[in-house]
Structure 1
C-alpha cells in the first residue's frame, strides 16, 4: 500500500529524449517539460489503478493486477500488453520494448522508465 496516494513530480532526468523516442510531439514535450505531473495510485490487494494527469488535463489510467498480463496505454496513445510484478517492494512492468520500475525511497515515488537505451527517471513527492 506504500504506492497508494497522490504524487507530484519534483524532478525528471532524460525527459526530452524519452518522450521523443516514444513519439510525443515536440509541442507536447515543451508543455510538459516543467509541468508538475500528478500521479494518482489506488490499490486493493493485488489490483492497482495508476492514473497520470498531464498538461491540459490529459489523463491516462492503467489498471492492472499483479502477475497478470493486461492492456496498457502511453500518453502518446500507444497500446501495449504488459505484466506488472512486485519484487522486493518494487513494481516492475515489462513489455516487449519497455521496462518500468517504481519504488518508494525516502518517502518519494521513484519511477525509472527504460525504452531501448533511453532512460527517464522521475521523482515525485506525496501531496
Structure 2
C-alpha cells in the first residue's frame, strides 16, 4: 500500500516549539529520524528511530487498541484513515500522516488556542 516503506527526514517545521509544548525536550536530536512503515492491509507497524533509540506502535485501522506515546504513556485509541490520511489522537497531540509525491508528511498539533503545529517531511530511502 501507499504507506509501506522506509523514510528519512528531509525537513521539519516548529520542531523545537513542539518538543517544548509536549514536554519532549529530551527527545531532541540532530540525527535524521528514520520512519519505517510496515503495512499488511489495515494492519500497521510504525517505527521511528535514530541511532540508540527506537519507538514503535502497532495498530489496525478502525479498531480500538492499546498504544504507547513517545513519552511512554499507555493509552487506548483508534487510528482512522480518511481520504488517504491516517489520523490518531495521542495524549499530547493530534497526529496525521499522508503520502504526497512519494514523501511521507506527518503533522502533529498540540491542543489549545495556541496549539503548535509540527510538520515533518521524509523521503523514501
Equivalents in 2 of 1:89, 1:25: separation in Å?
31
Equivalents in 2 of 1:52, 1:96: separation in Å?
18
Moved over 3 A (4+): none
SS at match of 2:19: helix
1:35 to 20, 27, 31: 31
SS at match of 2:67: strand
SS at match of 1:109: strand
Deviations 1:22-56 (A, max 9, x none): 22235x42xx1x321000100111100000103x4
Q: Over aligned residue pairs, what C-alpha RMSD do you find?
A: 1.6
| Aligned 1:106-121 pairs, distance under 5 A | 106-116=101-111, 117-121=115-119
SS at match of 1:8: strand
Q: Is the 8 A contact 1:18 1:119 kept in 2?
A: yes
Question: Which residues of structure 1 form unaligned runs of 5+?
Answer: none
Aligned match of 1:24: 24
Aligned residues: 122
